[in-house]
A and B are shown apart, each in its own frame.
Chain A
């Protein structure tokens, strides 16, 4: 049950994008097209899940084993950067269309603070291995969910007559804010 709570919490009540406001760059950058948003979500989920699994091992066995926990930032970034490289190679080979669509945002997963935040939260909250894996996967699902909702709203907005000063980034940021407010409605759903 506790694992389920962790999952629901990170997807809905404590969504990385809409609760912690982490990973806003890809959230705003890739959310204008449904297909790209979904692809970005999947790629990020993949990176996040693997990051959670690998960083947990590194933190528990290597960093704590040698007593050098202060290296967590550096080593976590190393993990994330390598994973992103891996995803990039994978996509370029097997899904070149998505690779073209994501463009610059793909290597930017490296600097997606939601991924780094995930690794640091995990350590902070003292999650065990299974909890970490669920947490990482849930964070990715939550990120994908936020991206897809945003992409849906933005594709609707494209048809609307938006007042001149709000066009472009303005309306996007407003939408993101309202979406975050809406997600506050989930608070209290699970005891975390």
Chain B
């Protein structure tokens, strides 16, 4: 015993000075260690805040869009001429540009441009199509002067949101600093306005040259159809598999194999499921590429392990006395499970399913391989069958698509898309938490 202590206390008795020193050092070590823990948590929380801050500051802009108000006298002859020409929108474009030039003249804005075409650069190239659609939908408007709100070009929009600077425009062929002087004047008297942009939420994706028109609505539908597939396949299959494994399976090699399999499938990288989808569903079974049905099937396989694991946990949480009570009054094993255990486990199962769905909703990598990226989701599916089988994008795939494009105006869209995606995920997770709090039973 003394051998051990001699090293520490040479005199054989505690030296008050040294003990005090050692105690101090030990307490300091204790405080340091505790501090490391606090710092670690603070760093983690800091990252969370930084991430959310970055999403919100960059993404909020996508929900606002700049519009230019122009009144256009609709002339029946001009419309007829435009409809006859080969490139119809170019004639409509000329009508808009002329009206805009008139407006600028009348309002007396100072500008160096005299060519209406040059003035028209502040408008989105979608303006002509918008005018044409209106004309075709309301043939009675010919002869009247109608007030329109056209999307401003993405450069003008970026200027008003602070994304595009005059310095940056020097290298840009699409817009000059002179345009910005004009926009400043038009903004001052309310011809150029910025307001909430519903088209971003409900609209469809647009081509590379029209970031101001791009919206996430169509890919949202794509995601919805995929989630329907996941829900209707993963929930029944997952619940059935869990019931078997938890309630009926004998302890043998086969069930062991299944258990190990499920544990491993839960940790297989999602991209591998994409490869499986490509090889099995597209190459082998010849299902259509980019279709939400295929995306849903892949995500089903991916979420099954999650659902099975959580379902088994909630089946396990139902006390054996329930089963024994049912069996005791003459129910068969199947009846005991389906009539008594399953209903009691249902809140837990639903919570697990919602969390699995949320995970599937945000997953991107497998969708890249089955061709849901690179496809411009520009049309709404017509009808239910079309929604499942017609090529579409999905929200995360659409965000990825925007992030890849060269024009920084699309980055704002990507961040905005993330805000919408995160809102959906937050709603799903909060529903899951409420379900758990509300219906969870402690036995």
A binds B: no
